[in-house]
Structure 1
Amino acid sequence: MKRMIIGSLIVPMMIACNKEIKTDAPVLEVSVEKADIKAGDTATFNIQSDANVLSFYSGEVLNDYGFHNGRKIAIDSVTLSFSTSLNYGTQKDQFAVFASSDFNGQYTVEGLKAATWQNITTLYKLAPGNSNTAIAAGVKKISQLAAPGKPLYIGYRFIVKPQTANGASKLWTMSAFNMSGHTKLGVQTLADHKSAGWRIIAQGQHDPGRGAVIQAAQLAFYGNNKDFMEEYTEDWVITKAVNMEEVELGPDWGTGIKTLADPPLKAYRYRFTTPGTYTVTFVASNVNSDNESKTVRQVTVKVTP
């Protein structure tokens, strides 16, 4: 009998534990006291809501609810900059910079050779001689290298010829890599050393630890120094595909104006400084451990000079 009683108690408890906690959509009503204001004036928004959380979007750039799922912006031009250093050795013409808009993304010798690579080394001022300090190569516009609708890849090539006949190999480094997209919202980083997605394509036999090496803050290129000094080697380090036409900025985020711990908010004031017509958005949320319910309300504010 005791087992039957315990069993009858456990079943309802299990059902209760597995039951999802629902939440009702919050009440939200918003009005603006004065919809036409001058730049520099403050708009007052009257609010009626039982929401746990309230967020505010002014409608200005980067605070616009219309982009709460993500914002992409056109790129007007792209620049590439980096620094180089070199030490030791006497071999010439080892280091070069290339760009391709038809590389297929297959980081193999076959994929490398199937692509058209434009040598852009002469755009830059490489380190002229032995130096323990990286020297800036310059900031150069590379938008003209891209084909319409296609990404661009940047590749660094390091060649070592047989060293008895051509001289001892130098040690090259490339650091401070940056591809920047210039947009109407300012300069956006398209790729830097950490986000470039570097991949190595090595050709020829290498002594251990030699060839192209991806390090924490730079690319390093080492020639063979033991068993394969007479081996011809060719190493490439290539970026990921870089979109040259638009950049993803991520979502526009609202400003939190009420949390669960705050008392009900009756009014909110915001100062507009730039003329324009703005779709102002309030988002009310009721949240629990299982669900979130939202109510969205919008009003228009016209700001004149």
Structure 2
Amino acid sequence: MKTKPITYLAAALALAVAGSSCDHDEIYEPLDFAVRLAPTNTYRVGEPVVFNFEGNADYITFWSGDVGHEYRYRDRTTMPKSELETCQLTFSLSRRSGSNTGDVQVYASDRFEGLAGDNAATDKATIEAIEAGNFADWTRLEVNEESKSGQWGTTTCNLLDVDGNGTALTDNFTLLIRWHPKDVTAQRNYYINTSLEVKFKNRESTLLSYTDLQFVNFNMANEMAGKEYDTYSTGSKIGYLQYGQNAGNIILNAIESGTMCPYLIDTWIFSTPMSLNLTSPDTGLSIKGVTDDVKSYSYTYDKPGTYTVTFVVANGNYQGESGIQTYEVTFTVIDPIE
């Protein structure tokens, strides 16, 4: 007898849910949002600018309008080349023993399409063509190599002017490190560190490490002809190179326990061609979710200027989010009063 009321209750709840689902579209509340600058704002560097919100927005994303956070650049992946201020390559080399110099040569180019990385015959022909053409499309960089072993020699190169005549290597930059000793009886170990600093005007500089340069190596020694499985090999054994060691980004191994590599080493190490005007899209900051109660937001600017702040807002209902809308506010920030 006690099951009847429960049955009636379940039926009533089912009818209520069915009825409410029919009315969802009418219950949905359109997006209503406004942003106003606080009347107490002074708009000076180092003092917060306060934005007051009105309406029913469930989601708010804030774009401050300063460098790296401009809504208009949300999809930008490249900067104008005219905005490049610094492209400095740093290359450090340390010969671990012996007195011979010049075993490691360094070149740069913007006309190389890269190695296949998985086709030994094709890559071997590509490298042979470079050498046969006497490095016609490459600029040789003079490497500072210390005469005393165990010391570090560091070379810096301005890729915006590699030859002193205004030649820039920024469109399709490739770094080539060739490890080719003059004599099989005088091959030595080397440590190498390399990095690339890129800076655009009015922006922070970015330091690209050797991992960002994405090196691909190719072993060209005649004694290894036909051993395609060794062509791209790396490792600690003699005649090969290692990446990412504490002593150096790249370690060239010619000697192991006093035993020298039995063949004349000829290893070519190419960075993957890259445009140096690449940049990350600007970003905004989510300041409100559907469960947050945010009536205002403040932001402090560290440089004077005219800023356009963008708020990207949306509302939510049982079907998902409403269409996204944007709201802009423009104002000028001045230097503080001293």
Question: TM-score, with normalisation over the residues of structure 2?
Answer: 0.68
How far residue 94 of structure 1 moved from its aligned partner, in angstroms, is 1.2
Mapped to 1, the partners of 2:90 and 2:108 lie a distance apart of: 13
Mapped to 1, the partners of 2:268 and 2:140 lie a distance apart of: 13
Alignment of 1:20-59 (within 5 A): 26-33=31-38, 38-40=43-45, 42-59=48-65
Q: In structure 2, do the counterparts of structure 1 residues 96 and 168 end up closer, same or farther at CA, with 3 Å as the change threshold?
A: same
How far residue 297 of structure 1 moved from its aligned partner, in angstroms, is 1.3
Mapped to 1, the partners of 2:160 and 2:173 lie a distance apart of: 9
The C-alpha deviation readout for 1:218-275, integer Å capped at 9, x for no partner, is 212233777972x43311111111324x131x23222332233322x33333444543
1:236 maps to 268
Mapped to 2, the partners of 1:161 and 1:67 lie a distance apart of: 52
* SS in structure 2 of the partner of residue 195 of structure 1: helix
Count of matched residue positions in the alignment of Structure 1 and Structure 2: 271
Match of 1:109 among 116, 124, 133: 124
Aligned letter for 1:268?
Answer: Y
Mapped to 1, the partners of 2:251 and 2:317 lie a distance apart of: 51
Mapped to 2, the partners of 1:81 and 1:290 lie a distance apart of: 55
How far residue 200 of structure 1 moved from its aligned partner, in angstroms, is 0.7
1:171 maps to 189
1:75 maps to 84
1:262 maps to 292
How far residue 276 of structure 1 moved from its aligned partner, in angstroms, is 2.6
1:100 maps to 109
How far residue 197 of structure 1 moved from its aligned partner, in angstroms, is 0.8
Mapped to 2, the partners of 1:174 and 1:39 lie a distance apart of: 48
Alignment of 1:190-229 (within 5 A): 191-204=208-221, 205=223, 209-217=237-245, 218-223=249-254, 229=262
Residues 94 and 146 of structure 2 are in contact (CA less than 8 Å); yes or no, is this contact kept in structure 1?
yes
2:177 maps to 156
Residues 25 and 295 of structure 1 are in contact (CA less than 8 Å); yes or no, is this contact kept in structure 2?
no
Tell me if 1:61 matches 2:67. yes
The C-alpha deviation readout for 1:80-105, integer Å capped at 9, x for no partner, is 11322222355543111111221121
Match of 1:85 among 94, 99, 103: 94
Mapped to 2, the partners of 1:273 and 1:178 lie a distance apart of: 30
Residues 36 and 304 of structure 1 are in contact (CA less than 8 Å); yes or no, is this contact kept in structure 2?
no
> Per residue, is there more helix in 1 or in 2?
2
Tell me if 1:284 matches 2:313. yes
Greater length-normalized contact order (CA 8 Å, ≥ 6 residues apart): 1
Q: In structure 2, do the counterparts of structure 1 residues 99 and 288 end up closer, same or farther at CA, with 3 Å as the change threshold?
A: farther
Mapped to 2, the partners of 1:272 and 1:24 lie a distance apart of: 35
> Per residue, is there more strand in 1 or in 2?
1
Mapped to 2, the partners of 1:290 and 1:105 lie a distance apart of: 49
Residues 187 and 261 of structure 2 are in contact (CA less than 8 Å); yes or no, is this contact kept in structure 1?
no
Residues 87 and 129 of structure 1 are in contact (CA less than 8 Å); yes or no, is this contact kept in structure 2?
no
1:187 maps to 205
2:278 maps to 247
Tell me if 1:142 matches 2:149. no
* SS in structure 1 of the partner of residue 180 of structure 2: strand
Match of 2:304 among 251, 275, 280: 275
How far residue 178 of structure 1 moved from its aligned partner, in angstroms, is 0.7
Q: In structure 2, do the counterparts of structure 1 residues 195 and 274 end up closer, same or farther at CA, with 3 Å as the change threshold?
A: closer
**Backbone CA RMSD of aligned residues:** 3.4
Mapped to 1, the partners of 2:200 and 2:264 lie a distance apart of: 43
Q: In structure 2, do the counterparts of structure 1 residues 266 and 104 end up closer, same or farther at CA, with 3 Å as the change threshold?
A: closer
